[in-house]
Chain A
């Protein structure tokens, strides 16, 4: 038997890794991957809570999160392509025309 808090901590670790990845990675695609990691972390929480609550709402939520993630992935990658076209780089630090 696994205490619920273990799942939650694991979920927090994954979420935290996602945040950290966003902060330290320079490749736009990797940053995007970090966001997916965060979402996965959240999903784990949902599923864990659903198991605890014996309610399927959490599963439904996860399902919708996946759909949204997929949609975001499509749009996000398109945006990345569009940025790559104009800037010829995937380094996020070089995407800084707009500032101050």
Chain B
């Protein structure tokens, strides 16, 4: 018999799934050609309910369903991050769907909710079976979401690329799971940890490598990042906001569990090289991009690299730094893409830098908000991005990774160039674009406000979130 408290430990996921189903059931009731906004509201309520459920969850830390999930500060931390992402994405989609005339609103919101369920499960699952399924849930829903702009060939292409390469990478992950299973005889993270603590296993090395390939693909770290620019460019902007943050954060959570909770061996140089490659390739690749979505895609590769620096730093400082980075990266990136999604207008026509010329004049508020997100991405003080980088590099230095830190800081300086380019276009170029600027709709406004507040909050008073992250790191290592 399963105790009732176990259901509380998956309560947010349950709530979200139920609301996803409600969305699907409400969809046919709505008029065929009408606005899908009511669905958005349902989804919004669902997300808020899930947030509340997450808050409720904090009183019930522990494992559930025969060691399938584990609710602790670590998982709650990522739950909140993922749910906040979903919240902002739903808000950003609120008007986006109508603007882009995406008819499949029911499926759209339902997929976001279900995908979020997958991501949340990824962070709380401690059994590789469940992790795998959750990973697939979040992946498949994003594959589909990527193809949501059905009239656009780019969207279909993005979907296909994401799907094929994603499945390809998943196979590697799965192979890794098979190996770890062979090595340790179990697929439970903490059982694996127990085994690896007592016994050496050659297979485990191979297993970690293969799982890193699969997860590295999900977090878009080099050299498994190649899909990112294409997919981000082709996918609907709010979906990019989601997929560049949510599954990434969740995959990082899994990676943290796999690398740290299991005490997996031998991965340090692999992660080190991957971090360096990600930062460098991401930043250099972004230098000449003209398409803002694509540019941000490259930047997200670089950010994965910074996060991996924290991984390389390891220990509690590294883990907490990585968690903090994931949170603040989510806040700023989701915000940036939300702005992009609004500005892109119908058919996502206006996504190149030239379209951004003079935005500071045409739409000062939108430009100012985007500027703050970009500054945060650069890592300028008073923004979350600054503290994120700060913690990561200081963790790296505490672990004596001087060279990695130096490469990292140089990279973050180079990165300033292309973010600055967007600011330059917005404020310093003369207006040439005919891109219209619509008023900021309410939904998007709220969404932007949330991510803005989060970004600034993390930049001014990071202490509290960091404490949670430290607590989470402790829980993870327990």
Report if A and B touch in the complex (beta carbons < 8 A). yes
For B154, the chain A residues whose CB sits under 8 A away are 97-98
- Tell me which of A11, A42, A46, A60 has the highest count of chain B C-beta atoms within 10 A of its own C-beta: A42
CB distance from A95 to the nearest CB of B (A): 5
- Asked if B348 CB lies within 8 Å of chain A CBs, one says no
A80 and B167 alpha carbons, distance in the complex (Å) = 14
Q: How large is the interface on A (under 10, 10 to 19, 20 to 34, 35 or more residues)?
A: 35 or more
Q: A64, A80, A85, A99: which contacts B129 (Cβ < 8 A)?
A: A64
Is residue A83 within 8 Å, beta carbon to beta carbon, of the partner chain?
yes
For the complex, give the distance between the alpha carbons of A95 and B234 in Å. Answer: 12
CA distance A38 to B171 in the complex (A): 6
CA separation between A64 and B128, bound complex, in Å?
A: 11
Chain A residues with Cβ under 8 A from B159's Cβ? 79, 82-83
- What is the CA–CA distance of A99 and B144 in the complex, to the nearest angstrom? 20
In the assembled complex, A87 has its CB within 8 A of some CB on chain B: yes
Within the assembled complex, what's the spacing in Å between the Cα atoms of A98 and B289? 13
Which of B133, B163, B233 sits near A79, CB closer than 8 Å?
Answer: B163
Judging by beta carbons under 8 Å apart, are B160 and A15 in contact? Answer: no
With the chains together, A93 CA to B2 CA distance in Å? 51
State which of A18, A53, A79 has its C-beta within 8 Å of the C-beta of B160.
Answer: A79
Instruction: Give the secondary structure class of A's interface.
Output: helix
Decide: A52 near B175, CB < 8 A? Known: A75-B144, A87-B156, A97-B157: no
Stretch at the interface among B177-185, B334-342, B427-435, B464-472: B177-185
Q: How far is the CB of A5 from chain B (nearest CB, A)?
A: 11
Q: Is B153 interfacial (CB 8 A cutoff)? A: yes
Bound together, the chains give a CA A8 to CA B210 distance in angstroms of 15
A23, closest chain B residue (CB) = B168
- Tell me whether A10 is interfacial, beta carbon within 8 Å: no
B354 contacts A by Cβ under 8 Å? no
Cα A29 to Cα B358 in complex, Å, equals 46
Chain B, interface size category, equals 35 or more
Contact across chains for A55 and B156 when beta carbons are under 8 A apart? no
Contact A64 B157 (CB under 8 A): no
Question: Is there an interface contact between B132 and A82, defined as CB atoms closer than 8 Å?
Answer: no
A85 to B181, CA, bound (A): 42
Residue pair B133, A28 in contact (C-beta under 8 Å): no
| B160 with A60: CB separation less than 8 A | no
Among B161, B168, B185, the residue within 8 A (CB) of A53 is B185
Identity of the chain A residue whose Cβ is nearest the Cβ of B188 in the assembled complex: A57
Task: Assess the B163–A55 pair: CB atoms within 8 A.
Answer: no
Taking CB as reference atom, which chain A residue is nearest B133? A64
For the complex formed, measure the closest distance between the CB of A33 and the CB atoms of chain B, giving whole angstroms: 11
Residue of B nearest to A53 (CB): B185
Q: Which residues of B contact A86 (CB under 8 A)?
A: 152-153, 156-157
Question: Any chain A CB within 8 A of the CB of B150?
Answer: yes
Q: Is the CB of B153 within 8 A of A42?
A: no
A57 CB to nearest B CB, Å: 6
User: Chain B 272-299, CB within 8 Å of chain A: the 1/0 string?
Assistant: 0000000000000000000000000000
Contact, CB under 8 Å: B157 / A87: yes
Q: Are B163 and A76 in contact (CB under 8 A)?
A: yes
**Residue pair A49, B178 in contact (C-beta under 8 Å):** yes
The answer to whether A35 and B175 touch across the interface, beta carbons within 8 angstroms, is no
Our pick among B163, B174, B234 for the contact of A42 (Cβ within 8 Å) is: B174
Q: Given the complex, which residues of A lie within 8 Å of B177, measured CB to CB?
A: 61
Q: Do A60 and B230 have beta carbons less than 8 Å apart?
A: no
Which residues of B from 123 to 156 have beta carbons under 8 Å from A?
A: 128-129, 132-133, 136, 140, 143-144, 147, 150, 152-154, 156
Q: Which residues does A use to contact B, with CB under 8 Å?
A: 8, 11, 15, 18-19, 22, 28, 31-32, 35, 38-39, 41-42, 45-46, 48-49, 52-53, 55, 57-58, 60-61, 64-65, 68, 71-72, 75-76, 79-80, 82-83, 85-87, 92, 95-100
New A-B contacts (17) at CB < 8 Å, excluding given A31-B164, A35-B171: A22-B168, A39-B171, A39-B174, A42-B174, A45-B178, A46-B178, A55-B186, A57-B181, A57-B186, A58-B181, A68-B132, A75-B144, A79-B143, A79-B147, A83-B157, A98-B229, A98-B230
The 8 closest A-B pairs by CB, nearest first: A49-B182, A98-B230, A45-B178, A38-B171, A86-B153, A53-B185, A83-B156, A42-B174
In the assembled complex, 14 residue pairs joining A and B whose CB atoms fall closer than 8 Å, in A order, are A35-B164, A49-B181, A49-B182, A57-B181, A65-B174, A75-B140, A82-B150, A85-B156, A86-B153, A86-B156, A86-B157, A95-B161, A97-B154, A98-B154
